Amino acid sequence: MTLRPALESDAPAVWRVHTASVQALCAGWYSEQEITVWIARLVADAYRRAIRAHSMVVAERDGDVVGFGELDLERREVVAVYVLPDATGAGVGSALLAHLEATARSHGLERLTLCASLNAETFYAHRGWRAAAREKHRLTSAVAVDCVRMDKALAA
């Protein structure tokens, strides 16, 4: 597995990872309706904008994108860490998260925040993140999903 900065041409692959990951890994924690609305909001073009605006990294295995991580330096926030369902449990998510934290540190940030989906709270907690509060992440005017606001002080 290798990590590299995302290119705009990775947008469709990143979209595929995000969609498959939400569908498989968040199911069980959210209702079918929430997952359907969540996935419908994901569009490949938005990733091109995110790749330009944020710090995005992809994990590749045998030339295929199997995970991605997104960091918004301005908002000091980890926006996303997603791994393909059949690539989980092999350290990809840990590597992506460590990379984003190192990038933030190298830009002089001392603290990061994120809104973890309920299924991912333990993953972050095991990596030094502290749960601060339950929040609602609005998907549409009618649907908002539960998430956990978490933060982490970055070691110098």
The nearest distance, CB 154 to ligand COA, in angstroms, is 18
Q: Are 145 and 30 in contact (CB under 8 A)?
A: yes
What single DSSP character describes residue 26?
S
Nearer to ligand COA, 11 or 67 (CB): 67
**CA 83 – CA 68 distance, rounded (Å):** 7
Min dist CB 136 to ligand COA, Å, is 14
* Distance in Å, CB of 40 to ligand COA, minimum: 17
Instruction: Report the interface residues with ligand COA, using CB under 6 A.
Output: 21, 25-26, 80-83, 88-94, 114, 116-117, 119-120, 123, 126
| Closest separation in Å from C-beta 83 to ligand COA | 4
C-beta of 63 vs 126, nearer to ligand COA:
126
Q: Residue with CB nearest ligand COA? A: 93
Element (H, E) at 115: strand 111-117
How, if at all, do strands 77-83 and 130-138 pair? unpaired
Q: How far is the C-alpha of 89 from the C-alpha of 70, rounded, in Å?
A: 20
